[in-house]
Amino acid sequence: MKITCSKNDLLNGINIALRAVPGKTTLPILESFLIDASGDIRIITNDNDMGIETCVDGKIESPGKIAINARIFSEIVRKLPDNQVTLDTSSNYKMKVTCEDSEFVLNGNNPNEFPELPQTNTENKISISQFTLKELIRQTIFSIAQNDANAIMRGELFEIDGKMIKVISLDSHRISIRKEELAFEYEPCKVIVPGKTLNEISRILGSEKEDIVDITFDKKFIKFAFGNTVVVSRLIEGEYFNVEQMISSDYETSVKVNRSDFFNSIDRAFTLTREGEKKPVILDIQDGEMNIDISSSVGSMNSHLYINKEGKDLVIGFNPRFFIEALKVIDDEEISIYFVNSNAPCFIKSKEGEYIYIILPVNINR
Nearest residue (CB) to a second copy, 76 versus 344: 76
In whole angstroms, the minimum distance from the beta carbon of 72 to a second copy comes to 5
Beta carbon nearer to a second copy, 274 or 312: 274
Alpha-carbon distance of 192 to 155, in angstroms, equals: 6
Residue type, 28: P
Minimum CB distance to a second copy, residue 287 (Å):
17
Distance, in Å, from the CA atom of 219 to the CA atom of 214, rounded to the nearest integer, reads: 17
In the complex with a second copy, the residue whose CB is nearer, 68 or 205, is 68
What's the CA gap between 27 and 217, in Å, rounded?
27
Nearer to a second copy, 101 or 210 (CB): 101
Which one, 81 or 238, has the nearer CB to a second copy? 81
Comparing C-alpha atoms, which of 152, 143, 147, 141 is closest to residue 237?
Answer: 152
Q: Report the distance separating Cα 94 and Cα 109, nearest Å.
A: 8
Closer residue to a second copy (CB): 146 or 302: 302
By beta-carbon proximity to a second copy, the closer residue of 196 and 321 is 321
- Least gap, CB of 179 to a second copy (angstroms): 32
Shortest approach of a second copy to residue 14 CB, angstroms?
Answer: 13
Q: How far is the CB of 312 from a second copy (least distance, A)?
A: 24
Q: Using CA atoms, how far apart are residues 46 and 232, in angstroms rounded to an integer?
A: 9
Tell me how far, at minimum, the Cβ of 302 lies from a second copy, in Å.
5
**Least Cβ distance, residue 253 to a second copy (angstroms):** 21
Angle between helices 70-78 and 7-17 (to 10 degrees): 150
Interface residues with a second copy (CB under 8 A)? 69, 72, 75-76, 79-81, 94, 101-107, 264-265, 267-268, 271-272, 297-305
Q: Which is nearer to a second copy, 220 or 304 (CB)?
A: 304
Residue among 94 and 190 whose Cβ is closer to a second copy: 94
Whole-number minimum distance, CB 292 to a second copy, in Å? 9
- Report the nearest approach of a second copy to the CB of residue 202 (Å): 27
Contacts of 91 (CB under 8 A, 6+ apart): none
